[in-house]
Amino acid sequence: MHDLFPQEKTVADEVHIPIASEADILTARKRGRELAEKLGFWSVEKTFIAMAISELALNILQYAGQGEIVLSIAERGDGTQGILIIARDRGPGITDVEQAMQKGYGLSGAKRLVDEFEIRSEPGKGTTVILKKWVR
pLDDT of residue 48: 97
CATH among 3.40.50.2300, 3.40.930.10, 3.10.180.10, 3.30.565.10 for 9-134: 3.30.565.10
Q: What is the pTM of this model?
A: 0.89
* Alpha carbon distance 47, 37 (integer Å): 11
pLDDT of residue 12: 58
Q: What is the pLDDT along the chain (136 residues), one digit of tens a residue?
A: 345 555 655 455 899 999 999 999 999 999 999 999 999 999 999 999 999 999 999 999 999 999 999 999 999 889 899 999 999 999 999 988 888 888 777 799 999 999 999 999 999 999 999 999 999 8
- Supply the DSSP symbol for 29: H
